[in-house]
Amino acid sequence: MSAEQRVAALRQMLEHDPDDAFALYGLAFELKQADEVAEAERLFRRLLDRHPDQHYGYYQLGELLLAESRPDEAAAILSAGLARAEAAGDGKAAGELRALLQQT
């Protein structure tokens, strides 16, 4: 399946359920990869607003913000994600968030 097909399928999923965590993350990730930064950021923020337990959403948004030379915003997002991951006992996500946070 091509990137365009994945984007189309994920958009269709969101038409049926605008808050679907898988579709929000997947579409935001695909758009980030395609350098469609503004829409990717909006979708990652929507994901985290509706599903704050999606720890890798914090990572992806933090990475996007760092790439856009917005380290203060990235640090805030990554810190929030780190706190949630630690509270949930998700050591793998916490470690990855902590490592990226050190780059801010």
Residue 35 sits at φ, ψ, to 5 deg, of 65, 30
Question: First CA to last CA across the chain, in angstroms?
Answer: 35
What is the model's pTM? 0.93
Q: Single out the residue of 43, 19, 15, 14 nearest to residue 30, CA to CA.
A: 43
CB 65 within 8 A of CB 77: yes
How confident is the model at residue 23, as a pLDDT? 97
Give the 3-state DSSP-derived string for 1-48, with helices as H, strands as E and coil as C.
CCHHHHHHHHHHHHHHCCCCHHHHHHHHHHHHHCCCHHHHHHHHHHHH
| pLDDT tens-digit series, residues 2-31 | 989 999 999 999 999 999 999 999 999 999
How confident is the model at residue 40, as a pLDDT? 98
Tell me the C-alpha distance between 46 and 52, whole Å: 10
- The DSSP code for 83 is H
| pLDDT tens-digit series, residues 39-54 | 999 999 999 999 999 9
Could you tell me the domains of the chain?
A: 3-101 (1.25.40.10)
